[in-house]
């Protein structure tokens, strides 16, 4: 699991419920401690990529898995993106390699003798058409966080920020958490 914000935490919890051993990579040391408390392993990105069989990105940042990282991924690994950006995985770089459509929403890439599988062309997997996901299931913490962030931008709540990537405001995350905890999401 690359990214352990609200979306990554939800994916990690479901994966653990299904019996997976979850390794978390995150830049925030507090989130890494939280991951340990939630029963996950923590690791540096390069170490995690070499051994993971399923790699899920949930960071909201473009280029999290670029050429350097994709070159380190284990043979047979499956790449899944559930983050806020459909560019977290460098699909353009992958497309420079031989590929085969295995089935709908699943492509296999040949990288120096290794096979890498990509779900939904690197776009958010929960938005893939035809996967049986209905509108009520799409309103999850991700959707709430995205909508609150958009509201903050539109109301001028971000006008004092410098250009570039910013951390998501903790007060908005807390607002989503309260709504979910009380069943009002």
Which residues share a beta bridge with 55?
79
For 81-133, what is each residue's pLDDT tens digit? 988 778 899 999 999 999 999 887 889 999 989 999 998 888 777 655 544 44
In a domain, 17, yes or no: yes
Task: Give the DSSP letter string of 78-120.
Answer: EEEE-SS-TTSB-HHHHTTS-EEEEETTEEEEEETTEEEEEEG
Q: Is residue 88 part of a domain?
A: yes
pLDDT at res. 133: 46
pTM greater than the 0.75 cutoff: no
Banded pLDDT at 136 (limits 50, 70, 90):
very low
Whether 132 is covered by a domain: the verdict is no
Whether residue 67 is contained in a domain is answered as: yes
Q: Give CA–CA dist 22/99, Å, rounded.
A: 28
CATH of the domain at 37: 3.40.50.720
174 and 99 belong to one structural domain: no
The answer on pLDDT for 21 being more than 50 is yes
Query: Do both 58 and 148 map to the same domain?
Result: no
Domain holding 156, by residue range, is 139-181
> Could you give the CA distance from residue 162 to residue 113 in angstroms, rounded to a whole number?
44
Please tell me whether residues 120 and 144 are part of one structural domain: no
Same domain flag for 30 and 119 = yes
pLDDT of residue 144: 61
For residues 32 and 91, state if they share a domain.
yes
115 and 75 within one domain: yes
Residues 100, 174: one domain?
no
Q: Is residue 1 part of a domain?
A: no
Residues 146 and 121 in one domain: no
Q: In what side-by-side order are the strands of the sheet with 54-57?
A: 54-57, 78-81, 114-119, 106-111, 99-103
Let me know if residue 37 belongs to a domain.
Answer: yes
Mean pLDDT of 38-65: 93
Question: Tokens representing 71?
Answer: 């070159």
Looking at the structure, do residues 101 and 50 belong to the same domain, yes or no?
yes
Section 8-14 average pLDDT: 88
Same domain, 148 and 83: no
Residue % of the chain over a pLDDT of 70: 77
Query: How many structural domains compose the chain?
Result: 2
Q: Are residues 81 and 110 in the same domain?
A: yes
Q: Same domain for 76 and 152?
A: no
The confidence score (pLDDT) of residue 146 equals 63
Residue 157 has pLDDT above 90, yes or no: no
Is residue 133 included in any domain, yes or no? no
**142: pLDDT strictly greater than 50:** yes
Is pLDDT of 3 > 90?
Answer: yes
């Amino acid at each position: 699991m690359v990214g352990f914000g609200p979306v990554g935490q939800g994916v990690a919890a479901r994966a653990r419920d299904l019996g997976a051993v979850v390794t978390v990579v995150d830049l925030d040391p507090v989130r890494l401690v939280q991951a340990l408390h939630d029963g996950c392993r923590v690791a540096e990105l390069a170490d995690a990529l070499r051994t993971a069989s399923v790699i899920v990105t949930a960071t909201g940042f473009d280029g999290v898995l670029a050429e350097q990282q994709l070159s380190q991924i284990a043979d047979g690994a499956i790449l899944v993106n559930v983050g806020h950006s459909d560019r977290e995985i460098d699909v353009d770089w992958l497309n420079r390699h031989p590929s085969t459509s295995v089935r709908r929403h699943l492509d296999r890439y040949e990288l120096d003798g290794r096979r890498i599988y990509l779900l939904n062309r690197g776009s958010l997997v929960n938005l893939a058409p035809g996967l049986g996901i209905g509108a009520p299931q799409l309103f999850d913490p991700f959707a709430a966080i995205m909508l609150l962030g958009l509201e903050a931008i539109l109301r001028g709540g971000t006008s004092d920020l410098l250009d570039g990537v910013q951390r998501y405001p903790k007060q908005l995350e807390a607002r989503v958490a309260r709504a979910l905890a009380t069943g009002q999401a």
